[in-house]
Structure 1
């Protein structure tokens, strides 16, 4: 499955920088690219010449820069020339997508894991990659999971899979698929996709908060993801949002996990109503005006607003993106969220832009694919590995 192209890996650092700029922000004219890179027009011409000759970049049509002077010809990368597989692992299932260089999803599959041992998980990942990619050559594979990953290869902890020691998941999947593989914490992987190709594309500062079975957090500052081996520990999940709130499994009262995790919300509604089946049912009941569900969901929404305010106050990011498989909470409890945010935000401060970005497990898998894309386009590069 290994892609035989050597185009991107063979680029010089300067030429690669230009190519990544076109990948993330293109199509761009040469003059627009020169402005973004802080280079002269002549320097940019020298950089894009090998990209054009190698078929990695193509003209995409006539245009103008400001309507004065000669028409310019925008340039763009050939996104269809490379394929990447992304796999998101949960405690019991795997979700895989096939994506092009700009992370457009071309195909997707899912299925149960064969088991939780490293060998069974690797076999499941290899099967998903084979199913989603078919005969398409792959430039890379990305795998994301809830847990901690060192050097984008070694899983040091994966609570949902029961892994407490190091597992060379990247090396094992590379051997099983024949494609270079990178491994990442699932929230960091989703933040990468949000940054390069998603709701925060073009933003150089933002935070990502994911709501679902757990609570996740990612931060981009100065156009770089803040990467850390501590991602996956759950540091934000245990910030106190309500000193009178319920307890989490660690004994913290009113922390983000206790207030916002989908299972906790379901359990709280079930106690008041004498039973409820799913988290989605809780949100439906709240939307329909059920008094128990409304109280629980509004309390959660207010806590989410306080979490957004806390993050914005401490990091001074102008935008917070809300995502995850439980993010519908933000829409159902939008008024409570706004009230919680306003209560903990100085009225003299600039408003925080809150972006709600719904997405299921396919979106998490797309994040894994973007991790592979970044590894391929910026090997040992700042966009991927900078800390």
Structure 2
């Protein structure tokens, strides 16, 4: 079996476009690649030849079912489809929270093939780098072809290398990529955790192939991102906690974090639990709050209903102003939608023009290993694009 070259460099822009199309959408026939990239058959042959010779692309087998075979014959596909070998390289991704490091190994197509979790007992940067390096070394015992490491953290990140500010870790201007590269000898890329998750969904998930794609995450905090033509829009707001001042209901609850009625106050897991605990005098976790609401408990139902209406309002605001083809709801707090979907939909309808197109809404509960997968996709991008470009 052919193996993937150590790097995707040097590739011409045309070669890279072909390789990326196959990576993110393959296996694809040459006819389909030419159609997607608006290339003539001759141009495509010229671009694919060096990719096949170098092992970046391979000629795969068509599906064996009769329907797929018949479809291939009707389209006159001249040869086997082109694909990549997903298992030819592996990537480590880590999500660092205030008290835990979640790690995964993925294939070249971001499928998770291993997971590991370690408690984080100190935020001292060198100690954190040692811990992550140890986890990466353990992964490398089973996956010796680790090609890179990605790290996702809550907060602001500069140049995909330095954690400029992280309230969760108490970090300021920490060059965590450099610290880990010194230990591992592998390329390391660091990004805000929400941005990393969005990159993964753009390349390999819900946003693949869309021109306008928005992501809203709810969990310990609120995250938002907009993707246009495959690129995440970047701004000075990145990593600054936009939800604290994103007012959804000015008459909403007053909670320890966020302005009254803000997205943070209404929707984050700690503030939802705080509201129920303040009303009942009993400490509860998020799953218990959702279960109580589903069972009709009046306090939990009121809190969850208000949160659901706030979520629907946010979704409608995003749809009204960003005009995305799809909005993805992600994060560990998305269970809210399962319990109170009617309230979410009612709020969306109330805040949209009655003749507006329906909002295409997809929800995906993302545990911390899925956030780590997003970080691994950052490392995939470094291999494929050849630079730590955001």
Q: Which residue in the other structure is 1:232 paired with?
A: 239
Which of 276, 295, 306 is residue 299 of structure 1 equivalent to? 306
The 5 Å alignment of 1:306-321 reads 306-321=313-328
Return the alpha-carbon distance in structure 2 between the equivalents of residues 42 and 114 of structure 1.
59
Which of 321, 331, 334 is residue 324 of structure 1 equivalent to? 331
Greater Cα shift, 42-51 or 143-152: 42-51
Q: Which residue in the other structure is 1:278 paired with?
A: 285
Does 2:16 match 1:16?
A: yes
CA contact (8 A) 2:251 2:260 kept: yes
Q: Which residue in the other structure is 1:49 paired with?
A: 49
Return the alpha-carbon distance in structure 2 between the equivalents of residues 123 and 145 of structure 1.
16
Q: Cα gap change, 1:264/1:43 in structure 2, threshold over 3 Å: closer, same or farther?
A: same
Return the alpha-carbon distance in structure 2 between the equivalents of residues 302 and 99 of structure 1.
36
TM-score (norm 2): 0.93
**SS of match in other structure, 1:128:** helix
Q: Which residue in the other structure is 1:213 paired with?
A: 220
The 5 Å alignment of 1:128-277 reads 128-134=135-141, 136-163=144-171, 165-249=172-256, 252-277=259-284
Greater Cα shift, 8-17 or 74-83: 8-17
Q: Aligned-pair distance for 1:203?
A: 1.9
Return the alpha-carbon distance in structure 2 between the equivalents of residues 144 and 233 of structure 1.
15
Greater Cα shift, 51-60 or 211-220: 51-60
Return the alpha-carbon distance in structure 2 between the equivalents of residues 204 and 365 of structure 1.
25
Greater Cα shift, 252-261 or 46-55: 46-55
Question: What is the root-mean-square deviation of aligned Cα atoms in Å?
Answer: 1.8
Please list every run of 5 or more consecutive structure 2 residues that lacks an aligned counterpart in the other structure: 63-68
CA contact (8 A) 1:148 1:229 kept: no
TM-score (norm 1): 0.94
**SS of match in other structure, 2:6:** coil
CA deviations 1:26-69 (Å, max 9, x no partner) are: 11111110111111111111111111112221112245557144
Q: Aligned-pair distance for 1:339?
A: 1.1
The 5 Å alignment of 1:82-93 reads 82-93=89-100
Q: Which residue in the other structure is 2:26 paired with?
A: 26
CA deviations 1:284-329 (Å, max 9, x no partner) are: 1001111111110010000000011111111011211011011101
Return the alpha-carbon distance in structure 2 between the equivalents of residues 354 and 322 of structure 1.
7
Q: Aligned-pair distance for 1:14?
A: 2.1
Paired positions, count: 380
CA contact (8 A) 1:241 1:256 kept: yes
CA deviations 1:324-376 (Å, max 9, x no partner) are: 01110111111111111111111111111110111210100000000111121
Return the alpha-carbon distance in structure 1 between the equivalents of residues 361 and 233 of structure 2.
20
Please list every run of 5 or more consecutive structure 1 residues that lacks an aligned counterpart in the other structure: none
CA contact (8 A) 1:60 1:73 kept: yes
**SS of match in other structure, 1:134:** helix
CA deviations 1:201-251 (Å, max 9, x no partner) are: 222211111111101111111221113353110124421111111224466
Return the alpha-carbon distance in structure 1 between the equivalents of residues 51 and 258 of structure 2.
56
Return the alpha-carbon distance in structure 2 between the equivalents of residues 127 and 69 of structure 1.
51
Q: Which residue in the other structure is 2:66 paired with?
A: none
Does 2:368 match 1:361?
A: yes
Q: Aligned-pair distance for 1:134?
A: 2.0
